[in-house]
Amino acid sequence: MVLDFIFIQLSSPVHIHLIIAYRKVKFEVENVKLVSNKGLKNKEISLAVAIIEENKEIIIAKWKEYHGE
């Protein structure tokens, strides 16, 4: 999977948006929950979940650092 872009928005709960080849997906990070999917295949979603789970603490720490929480 080639990740084109990742961004974090200021809102709760902690979540990320992934954009991969014009397809978009949003995950809540703390429970690694798929919130929305616009075009990603199940295999890609599974890989994204694994990556988020593996890096959850880092993502949450960066979220808090960025948003001052």
> pLDDT band at 9, cuts 50/70/90?
low
Tokens of 29: 């990070």
How far is the C-alpha of 31 from the C-alpha of 20, rounded, in Å? Answer: 22
How far is the C-alpha of 65 from the C-alpha of 20, rounded, in Å? Answer: 25
Query: pLDDT of 35-66, one tens digit each?
Result: 999 999 999 999 999 999 999 999 889 888 88
